[in-house]
Amino acid sequence: PLPEVLDEEMIASVVHGFYDEIRKDDLLGPIFNGAIAPQDWPHHLDKMCAFWSATLLRSGRYDGRPLPPHLALPELGEEHFRRWLALFRATVHELCPPDVAVLFMDRAMRIAHSFRLAIAFNRGE
Ligand code: HEM
């Protein structure tokens, strides 16, 4: 059973808090701000809320394909994934109780790993 405090509101606070930090990050900020124009951020944040809602609450709110935009980013490497996960970990531990933070992290690490494998495979490594 999911912790009761894990709801759409908590997901929205994590998503907004995380991308506020990411956009200021020296390594990841330029990648995100290069791919997403200022006027497109509200749409991106809505999509990411839908993604986490579908992933953790099984709400069915997201039916996109998460991988392709990452394959299209040149030079996405280990250091980017490490930074992404470190920032995400800091955000969820700041905003969520520990049992909820673990649910977010567990899923984020699995997906990050699947992206890494797909990127390596795509490059023929
Ligand atoms: C979309 C970057 C890791 C989930 C995007 C976009 C960028 C990006 C720039 C927007 C693409 C666009 O709209 O043009 C990165 C970078 C990462 C990273 C630099 C770390 C190396 C992750 C991880 C997850 C994730 C670990 C999942 C836990 C998504 C999803 C989308 C997205 C769901 C939306 C895909 C869609 O359009 O439906 N990412 N990402 N990303 N990212 Fe990531």
Q: Give the per-residue pLDDT at 74.
A: 83
User: For residue 125, what pLDDT is reported?
Assistant: 66
pLDDT of residue 1: 85
- Ligand 1 midpoint to CA 79 (Å): 15
Residue 75 clears pLDDT 90, i.e. is over it: no
Cα of 68 vs centre of ligand 1, distance in Å, is 9
Quote the percentage of the chain above a pLDDT of 90: 93
> pLDDT tens-digit profile of 97-124?
999 999 999 999 999 999 999 999 988 7
Residue of 40, 41, 70, 117 with the most ligand 1 atoms within 8 Å of its CB, for mutation: 70
List, in order of start, the domains of the chain with CATH numbers. Answer: 8-122 (1.10.490.10)
Which residues have CB under 8 Å from 41's CB, separation 6+?
19
Start-to-end CA span in the chain (Å):
40
> Rounded to the nearest whole angstrom, what is the distance from the C-alpha of residue 17 to the centroid of ligand 1?
15
Helices 78-95, 98-122: crossing angle, 10 deg rounding: 170
82: tokens are: 């490490």
Q: What pLDDT, in 10s, does the model give residues 81-96?
A: 999 999 999 999 999 9
Closest CA to 2 of 78, 118, 104: 104
**Which pLDDT value is given to residue 104?**
98
The per-residue pLDDT for 124 is 76
Token digits of residue 55: 């992933």
